Structure 1
Amino acid sequence: MKRIGFLSFGHWAETQHSQVRSAADALLQSIELAVAAEELGADGAYFRVHHFARQLGSPFPLLAAAGARTSRIELGTGIIDMRYENPLYMAEDAGAADLISGGRLQLGISRGSPEQVVDGYRYFGHVPAEGTTDADMAREHALRFLEVIEGEGFAEPHPRPMFPNPPGLLRVEPHAPGLRDRIWWGAGSRATAEWAAEQGMNLMSSTLLTEDTGVPFHQLQAEQIQRYRDAWETAGHQRESRVSVSRSIFPIVSDLDKALFWQQRESTDQVGWIDGGNARFGKTYAGEPDKLVAALAEDEAIAVADTLLLTVPNQLGVDYNAHVIESVLTHLAPELGWR
């Protein structure tokens, strides 16, 4: 069975047609959508993280709140920009949110995406070491985070502490058992997917790859996934890895669906310029259910991934996004063998 969840960018805007007018709206509606998705039988509620933007920022209060309101659904990020993170403080936040949720966090982390401001991570107090790049710094932060959440002690205890300490070196608390195995790397290329496998992280691949070989997006992504799995096997990890892909999928089953997405029926891959190089963007899938079933059956990357994240237009409100999720689960998933 393929796990199916949603991925929300958490936009808000004070515009006529937006159902999400403020940061409070974005946060509270995100929680409500997680609750609704769980009730519908979806498997995951994932949230994008962007700084200096009218979108969801700090993820852990949101994940903790959603964890307290739900009982089964996975809760995750796609992705946390590690250029901005203090790895030890992040380990505390992640541990607390994971414990509140009962061990349901699935954290996607990465080097991050193009920013709203120039070198925004510098405002957060993080500067790449001389001779290194911001991508190098993100990986350094990620590896330190992975090391800390293992739960081994590393800090020398004070000889006269305020409270009694357990014996030995101290670790960051609270510790969340098993969280290390639930960290995903958002890979934008085949090479970074292989690096993620070497580090023992799950693979999170979105609707964008920062390279282009001329083949359709889904085939390039399927190659990325295969390279990841080959590298995982070579590394000799003892557990099974997980792979997720993101897609924009809109079954047209109502007049409102038709008004919103009818023009997207002829969507195709796009090639653009991002971060100094060519990038390939995946298409939107929109149309009547029978036509979507035929089109999605040919998507090679979805076929080999164990998790599918549906990117949702959150500004259309909780009810409509729950409708989109339910439409995929009802009209497409059974026909495609995902359920």
Structure 2
Amino acid sequence: MPLTSEPLRQLGFLTIGLFDGNDPGPGHESTLEIIRLGEQLGFDSAWVRHRHLQYGISSPVAVLAAASQRTSRIELGTAVIPLGWENPLRLAEDLATVDILSGGRLNPGLSVGPPRRLDQVQDALYPGTADAEDFGYDRMQRLLDCVRGEPVTGFSGVEGFEVFSDRVQPHSPGLGRRMWYGGASSRSARWAGEHGMNFLTSSVVKAESQEAGTAQEAGAAPDFAAIQQSLIRTFRAHHPDGERARVSQGLVVIPVDSASAEQRAKYRAFADKRMPRTTTPQGPGQLLFAPDLVGTSAQIAEQLYAHAAFREIDEVAFALPFTFEHEDYVQILTDIATRLGPALGWRPGG
């Protein structure tokens, strides 16, 4: 196959961390075991999703605090925390604390916008004040300022026996350089670049580019890879580090090299069921989804090398499917680490 991109430098994975609402312990334990397995397999990073009022991880920072005590090397990320549910100052305290506990391995991924289903949760989340909340980029800037050590109060010093700081404590100096923005639009890509964040781009983009419009006018499906490539280039064009600015791609990949016949059938059915949403933009947000990549590691590597956006990056956080069993994740991660990663030029600890 033609090697048309740089060797993959950072190999990561993303999990949603599902659990049974009547017995949530085993699901959380499975997530922690998957992260520990990832470290044993040599992965560079493990990321967890964020789900509120669902049966997935609602407190990724707490889960990663636990993971930090079961691992020693692997980087730990969130993809992504929706900031509309959070108080930036309090979240900054939690993030810095976990970064300290992990030895500087935390990679917080975040996004802005109103909380999902705001009309249904606002009375519980922001009783009487939802209309006054700013869910835009200013909220992200507040978090960045807190994490980066900017003053949050005009007072510091001693009061009685207590000592007060004018900035968030603990302060973890390197954390500010490991803040990621999860974006699907050119506006978000530009903002993240201008504000010195890293950029997470997933299997979802907004079909808003000129290329997408031209394709739709011609009756063709928009080119996901071309749109994602445009986002990456927009981000780097506005980032102080330019072409060296960090971007991570998060497609769903399911290698089947060591899978059983039953697993292969399940994986293919999963991808087939989700395929219709990849053919045309979805909903008022005009969201376009990438196809799930199912096949042998050699087949998936060939597809990735042909992917315009993949050729722009050298780190990934491949997303694990939502609804599989623990043993399925073990098989998929093992194949990614031992077969797909090497096929992409990755080496453990590289």
Same fold (TM over 0.5): yes
- Displacement of 1:117: 5.9
Code of the residue aligned with 1:338 in structure 2: it is W
Task: Give the Cα–Cα distance (whole angstroms) in 1 for the partners of residues 124 and 287 of structure 2.
Answer: 28
Residue matched to 1:183: 179
Counterpart among 185, 191, 202 of residue 195 in structure 1: 191
Counterpart-to-counterpart distance in 2, 1:199 and 1:28: 36
The answer as to 2:156 corresponding to 1:147 is no
Q: How many residues matched?
A: 323
For residue 206 of structure 1, report the CA deviation from its aligned partner.
Answer: 1.0
Change in CA separation of 1:129 and 1:72 when aligned onto 2, cut-off 3 Å: same
Query: Residue 248 of structure 2 aligns to which amino acid in structure 1?
Result: S
Report the counterpart of residue 28 of structure 1 in structure 2: 29
* Residue 4 of structure 2: aligned partner: none
Who is 2:3 aligned against? none
CA contact under 8 A between 1:85 and 1:141: conserved in structure 2? Answer: no
Larger mean CA deviation between 140-149 and 214-223 belongs to 214-223
Whole-angstrom CA distance in 1 between matches of 2:153 and 2:115: 35
Unaligned runs of 5+ in 1: 15-20
Correspondence for 2:314:
306
| Alignment partner, residue 263 of structure 2 | 257
Counterpart position of 1:54: 55
Deviation of 1:229 after TM superposition, in Å, equals 0.6
Query: Equivalents in 1 of 2:70, 2:9: separation in Å?
Result: 24
1:6 equivalent among 10, 13, 16: 13
Structure 2 stretches of 5 or more lacking a match? 1-7, 216-221
Q: Does the 8 Å contact 1:189/1:210 carry over to 2? A: yes
**1:74 & 1:181 partners in 2: Cα distance?**
14
- How many angstroms apart in 1 are the aligned matches of 2:105 and 2:237? 27
Q: Per-residue CA shift, 1:6-55, capped at 9, x if unaligned?
A: 111222347xxxxxx74322322211111000000111111111212111
For 1:220 and 1:159, the matched residues in 2 are separated by 51
Measured after TM superposition, the shift of residue 329 of structure 1 is: 2.1
**Which secondary structure does the structure 1 equivalent of 2:280 belong to?**
strand
Q: Aligned-pair distance for 1:104?
A: 0.4
SS in structure 2 of the partner of residue 83 of structure 1:
helix
Distance 2:293 2:242 in 1: 36
Q: CA separation in 2, counterparts of 1:122 and 1:198?
A: 34
Q: CA deviation at 1:264?
A: 5.9
Are the structure 2 counterparts of residues 220 and 226 from structure 1 closer, same or farther at C-alpha, using a change threshold of 3 Å?
same
**Which residue type is aligned with residue 139 of structure 2?**
H
For residue 158 of structure 1, report the CA deviation from its aligned partner. 7.1
The equivalent of 2:102 in structure 1 is 101
CA shift in 2, pair 1:93/1:172, >3 Å: same
The residue type paired with residue 66 of structure 2 is: A
Q: How far, CA to CA, are the matches of 1:172 and 1:67 in structure 2? A: 21
Q: Distance in 1 between matches of 2:159 and 2:292?
A: 57
The residue identity in structure 2 corresponding to 1:9 is: I
Paired AA for residue 262 in structure 1: R
The residue type equivalent to 2:47 in the other structure is Y
Normalization by structure 1: what TM-score?
Answer: 0.86
Give the structure 1 partner of residue 280 of structure 2: 271
SS in 2 for 1:300: coil
1:247 aligns with 2:251: yes
Give 1:216's aligned residue. Answer: 223
TM-score between both structures, scaled by the size of structure 2: 0.83
Give the whole-Å Cα distance in 1 for the aligned partners of 2:193 and 2:223.
Answer: 24
> What is residue 168 of structure 2 aligned with on the other side?
172
1:290 to 281, 298, 311: 298
Query: Using a 3 Å threshold, how does the CA distance of structure 1 residues 113 and 2 change in structure 2: closer, same or farther?
Result: farther
Contact 2:112 2:139 in 1 (8 A): no
Cα drift, residue 89 of structure 1: 0.6
